[in-house]
Structure 1
Amino acid sequence: MILIIDFFLKFNYFKNLAMFLVKLRQPIAQILIQKNTFSRF
């Protein structure tokens, strides 16, 4: 029983981490694109 609860807690943690990374990825991608366009000029 404890193993199942532990599994769900870990799964929820990784799910939240994945959502967090997806939210972070968009601004980071925009910053990288801006840096690349500036470095070309």
Structure 2
Amino acid sequence: MAAQAVIDARDLSLTFTTADGPVYALQGINLTVNDGDFV
């Protein structure tokens, strides 16, 4: 039996704007948490 994803996030990004320009903290992050996984 295949595990079922309870959280499935795809292509996340996070950008902070600073006086010197944007800071790309995350780009193209994927996360899957399956039923029964410990986080």
> Comparing both structures, which one devotes a greater share of its residues to helix?
1
Higher relative contact order (CA 8 A, sep 6+): 2
- TM-score for both structures, normalised by structure 1: 0.22
> Comparing both structures, which one devotes a greater share of its residues to strand?
2
- TM-score for both structures, normalised by structure 2: 0.22
